[in-house]
Amino acid sequence: MSVARTRSLRRQLLAGILLPLLLIVAFNTWSLYREALGALNTAYDRTLLASAKSLGEWLDIQGEGDAARLQANVPSAALEAFEADLRSRMAFRISTRQGLLLSGYDDLPMWHGEIPMQPPYAALVDFYDGAFRGEPVRMAVLLQPVASGSGRDVAVVQVAETLEIRHALARQILWDTLARQAALIALIAATVIAVVQLATRPVRRLSHELQGRPDDDLRPIAAPDAPRELQPLIAATNAHMRRHGEMAAQQKRFVRDASHQLRTPLAVLKAQVQSARRGDVPPAQALAEIEDTVDRATLLANQMLALAKVAQLRQQADASASAFDTIVRDVALELSPLIAERALDFSLQVEPLTLPAHEWMLRELTRNLLHNAVRHTPPGGPLCITLARVGDQARLTVADGGPGVEPDLAKRLFQPFRSGAGGSGFGLGLAICHEITQALGGSIQLLNRRQNGRIVGLDAIVTLPLS
The CA-atom distances, in angstroms, between 365 and each of 95, 236, 370, 376, 433 are: 112, 31, 9, 17, 5
State residue 2's pLDDT score.
46
Q: Which residues contact 242 (CB under 8 A, 6 or more apart)?
A: 218, 220
CATH architecture of 322-465: 2-Layer Sandwich (3.30)
Q: How far apart are CA 366 and CA 332, in angstroms?
A: 9
Task: Give yes or no for a contact between 157 and 35, defined as CB atoms under 8 angstroms apart.
Answer: no
Residue 33: the pLDDT is 81
Residue 224: its pLDDT value, please?
Answer: 75
In sign, the C-alpha dihedral spanning 353, 357, 359, 362 is negative
Structural contact between residues 413 and 351, judged by C-beta atoms closer than 8 angstroms: no
d(CA 339, CA 345): 8
Q: How many C-beta atoms lie closer than 10 Å to residue 83's C-beta?
A: 9
pLDDT at residue 4, as a whole number: 47
Residue 437, phi-psi category: left (phi > 0), alpha (psi -120 to 50), beta (remainder)? alpha
CATH of span 28-171:
3.30.450
The DSSP secondary-structure symbol of 147 reads E
* Phi then psi dihedrals of residue 147, to 5 deg: -140, 145
Taking the C-alpha atoms of residue 313 and residue 439, their distance in angstroms, rounded to an integer, is 8
Q: What is the pLDDT of residue 386?
A: 94
Distance CA 350, CA 47 (A): 102
pLDDT at residue 247 in the model: 72
The reply to whether CATH 1.10.287 applies to domain 233-314 is yes
pLDDT of residue 426: 52
Residues with Cβ < 8 Å from 425, sequence gap 6 or more?
Answer: 299, 372, 375, 419
Q: What is the pTM of this model?
A: 0.46
DSSP 120: S
| Whole-angstrom distance, CA of residue 313 vs CA of residue 305 | 12
- Burial class of residue 5 (count of CB atoms within 10 Å of its CB; 0-12, 13-18, 19+): exposed
User: Could you tell me where the DSSP H helices lie in 200-226?
Assistant: 201-211
> Would you say 167 and 141 are in contact if contact means Cβ atoms under 8 Å apart?
no
**pLDDT value of residue 1:** 42
Residue 333 is predicted with a pLDDT of 92
Per-position DSSP letters for 311-342, written without gaps between them: HHHHTSPPPPPEEHHHHHHHHHHHTHHHHHHT
User: Who contacts 94 (Cβ-Cβ below 8 Å, separation ≥6)?
Assistant: 55, 59, 72, 74, 101, 102, 103, 104, 155, 156, 157, 158
Residue 353 CB contacts under 8 Å (≥ 6 apart), including other chains: 323, 324, 325, 387, 389, 394, 466
Given the DSSP bridges, would you call strands 151-162 and 69-72 parallel, antiparallel or unpaired?
A: unpaired
- Domain range annotation of the chain: 28-171, 233-314, 322-465
Q: Could you list the pLDDT tens digit for every one of the 467 residues in the chain?
A: 444 456 677 778 778 888 888 888 888 888 888 888 888 888 888 888 888 888 888 888 877 766 678 888 877 666 666 655 556 788 899 998 888 888 888 899 999 888 887 777 778 899 999 999 889 999 999 998 888 777 788 899 999 988 888 888 888 888 888 888 889 888 888 888 888 888 778 888 888 888 888 877 778 887 777 777 778 888 888 888 887 777 777 677 667 666 666 676 777 778 878 888 888 778 888 888 888 778 777 766 666 666 666 666 665 555 678 899 999 999 999 889 889 998 999 999 999 999 888 888 888 889 889 988 898 899 999 999 999 999 889 999 999 988 888 777 777 776 766 555 444 555 667 888 888 888 888 898 888 888 887 888 889 999 999 87
